[in-house]
A and B are shown apart, each in its own frame.
Chain A
Amino acid sequence: MIVFDKVSFNYGDKGFEIKDLSVEIGRGEFIGVIGHSGAGKTTFAKLAVGLLKPISGRVLVDGMDTKTTPVSDLARKVGFVHQNPELMIFSSTILDEVGFALRNLGYPEIRIKDAVGRVLESVDLIKPLNFPPHALSFGEKHRLAIASVLVMEPDVLILDEPTTGLDYGRCLQLFRVLENLHRNGKSVVVITHDLDLLGMFAKRIIVFEKGKIIRDGSTEEVLTDISFLEEKGFIPTQLQRLANMLGVKKLTPQEIAEQIIKKKRI
């Protein structure tokens, strides 16, 4: 679905560089992208949606080259939700805000209303269409931002640190929405520091360091590798450590409890 083919990129100043990056994001995946700040995660996301163009190599989105395809066309395949939802919001009603993209694409009003209603339901934002966006809570604004991107019906959704500023309950709610989208066939790529949530929901983990992908594997395989995580400066969770101590690759409390019973530890 999204193919990075020997992509190289830098911002011109010395230091940060992506060199010969090759990776693929397929259909129907749930991927967690982790790495310290400055490791290249946001740059990677921006390259994937065409906001940045590779200096050499290609980024193909459903076969389209990001260098030659307009950004708004790419947006119908890959949606990008920025870390700060308030950067997008400018309208006086939810309908206008979410429908903005469709209006730009020239859709008729009836279709827009319909599409907006459906997408709001899918992100669990139950509010009247004429509700003012600035009166929403921060968590609701986040879901609004996601809805504004989803309304273009992309196959892949990339979220840049969506858990910032959200408490645990809201994070769970958000991830459940993402899981639902995943179950309905979309690919979800979440850039985050929250290893707990990734352990619960993500199927694949990509680890960035200094512009390179240093690990790419299944969630269970990557997140139970405590020595790797600690060496790279991450803080493993208690569940991850327990799994490691038991020598199993399971990350939910239920599964770990089962393993404890199975291994006759108790």
Chain B
Amino acid sequence: MGPSVVVKNLSAKYIGSDTWTVRAVDLQVNKGEMVVIMGPSGCGKTTLFRILAGLVPSLIPGTVEGEVTVEGVDVVRAGYKQLVGVVGLVYQNPEMQVITRSVLEELAMGPENLGLSREEIQKRIDWVTHVLNLYDLLDKDPQSLSGGEKQLIAIASVLTIKPKVLLLDEPTSMLDHRGTRLVLEAINQLKKEGLTILVAEHRVEWAVEAADRVAVMGRGTILLEGKPEEIFSRVEDIQRYGVRPPGIAEVAYELRKKGIDVPIPVKLEDSWKLGVGSK
């Protein structure tokens, strides 16, 4: 499986600003991989996503330097209008992404605007309904749905444009636990469908289970990058970078501070390494 997203030495700043929001970022995501990006606000992850989605500089003016290729397309030169079927971006706030009075309209909106045939539109709606299990929601008014359900519909509406790469910018930060579960399960399901996924998320304890790789960003650049086990066990480093380590790693770290030699697990199933629970 070759590379899907290739970012080389990317730097970007918005118009009228002297600060570089993104600085010298190198990142590669392979097809079918899920990469979770973590970092405090202002670390540049939203800007990175906007560039990957072709919104900067074509819709939001700014300076972009470096190379960004998504599925072979130079996104900076192409602009978001050429990225139909390449990239989709889901935002944080479910309230602002649901704009019609019927779920069916919501799902059909993208393909309708693209001028696709009615048969093709129906086919895509059927596919997304099946993948995300939206059968019970189809005939409802989106305004009456819960936050999590709205976010699910938002994801589905982006999927009907059939992107190969899905970007989700903090999709659960405005949701309650029920909604979070719904959305995270949907993301897990989409991974199984073979989509390449980049998620900006702060829920470390989910990322350790779901992510293939994790990148920690800070002040516009990538500070750490690698597999969850490698990254999240570096308790002091990630704390310094504004990321909360998984609870189990914090406990292991405390044990080590008391002189007890234990490894630093990141998943709960490895709690036996600390003498808690069984293998």
Physical contact A–B (CB less than 8 Å): yes
Q: Which residues of A pack against B, CB within 8 Å?
A: 35-38, 137-139, 164-170, 193, 196, 233-235, 237-242, 245-246, 253-254, 256-257, 260-261, 265-266
Contact with A along B156-187 (1 / 0, CB 8 A): 00000000000000000111111111000000
**B15 CB-CB contact with A under 8 Å:** no
A-B contact count (CB 8 A): 99
* Other A-B pairs, 16, CB within 8 Å; known A238-B205, A242-B251, A261-B260: A36-B146, A37-B146, A164-B174, A165-B41, A168-B242, A193-B176, A233-B178, A234-B177, A239-B247, A242-B247, A245-B276, A245-B277, A253-B253, A257-B254, A265-B274, A266-B274
**B248 CB-CB contact with A under 8 Å:** yes
**B250 CB-CB contact with A under 8 Å:** yes
Q: Find out whether the CB atom of A167 lies under 8 angstroms from the CB atom of B41.
A: yes
Q: Find out whether the CB atom of B247 lies under 8 angstroms from the CB atom of A257.
A: no
| 26 A-B interface contacts by CB (under 8 A) | A37-B147, A37-B176, A37-B179, A38-B146, A167-B202, A168-B202, A170-B41, A235-B180, A238-B246, A239-B250, A240-B247, A241-B268, A242-B248, A245-B277, A253-B250, A254-B254, A257-B251, A257-B254, A257-B255, A257-B258, A260-B275, A260-B276, A261-B258, A265-B274, A265-B275, A266-B260
A194 CB, min distance to chain B CBs, angstroms: 10
Identify whether the interface residues of B are mostly helix, strand, loop, or mixed.
loop
Chain B, range 238-279, C-beta contacts under 8 Å to A? 242-244, 246-248, 250-251, 253-255, 258, 260, 262, 268, 271, 274-277
Q: Find out whether the CB atom of A167 lies under 8 angstroms from the CB atom of B250.
A: no
What 4 pairs between A and B have smallest CB-CB spacing?
A265-B275, A238-B247, A257-B254, A239-B247
A165 to B275, CA, bound (A): 37
Q: Find out whether the CB atom of B41 lies under 8 angstroms from the CB atom of A139.
A: yes
Q: Nearest chain-A residue to B257 (Cβ)? A: A257
A166 to B248, CA, bound (A): 23
Q: Find out whether the CB atom of B42 lies under 8 angstroms from the CB atom of A137.
A: yes
**B40 CB-CB contact with A under 8 Å:** yes
Identify whether the interface residues of A are mostly helix, strand, loop, or mixed.
helix
Q: Nearest chain-B residue to A255 (Cβ)? A: B254
With contacts A257-B254, A261-B255, A261-B260 known, is A237 near B179, CB below 8 A? no
> A265 contacts which chain B residues (CB < 8 A)?
274-276
The CB with the most chain B CB atoms within 10 A, among A164, A240, A254, A257, is that of A257
**In-complex Cβ contact of A168 among B175, B176, B243, B255 (8 A):** B243
Q: Find out whether the CB atom of A169 lies under 8 angstroms from the CB atom of B177.
A: no
Q: Nearest chain-A residue to B39 (Cβ)? A: A167
A168 to B39, CA, bound (A): 9
> A37 contacts which chain B residues (CB < 8 A)?
146-147, 176, 179
Q: Find out whether the CB atom of A237 lies under 8 angstroms from the CB atom of B173.
A: no
The CB with the most chain B CB atoms within 10 A, among A165, A167, A196, is that of A167
A169 to B245, CA, bound (A): 12
Q: Nearest chain-B residue to A165 (Cβ)? A: B173
Q: Nearest chain-A residue to B146 (Cβ)? A: A37
A141 CB, min distance to chain B CBs, angstroms: 12
Q: Find out whether the CB atom of A245 lies under 8 angstroms from the CB atom of B271.
A: yes
A61 CB, min distance to chain B CBs, angstroms: 28
B49 CB, min distance to chain A CBs, angstroms: 16
A204 to B187, CA, bound (A): 34
> B244 contacts which chain A residues (CB < 8 A)?
168, 196
B36 CB, min distance to chain A CBs, angstroms: 14
Q: Nearest chain-B residue to A238 (Cβ)? A: B247
> A237 contacts which chain B residues (CB < 8 A)?
205, 247
Contact with A along B84-95 (1 / 0, CB 8 A): 000000001000
B253 CB, min distance to chain A CBs, angstroms: 7
A233 to B39, CA, bound (A): 27
A78 CB, min distance to chain B CBs, angstroms: 24
> A233 contacts which chain B residues (CB < 8 A)?
177-178, 181
> A169 contacts which chain B residues (CB < 8 A)?
40, 242
> A137 contacts which chain B residues (CB < 8 A)?
41-42
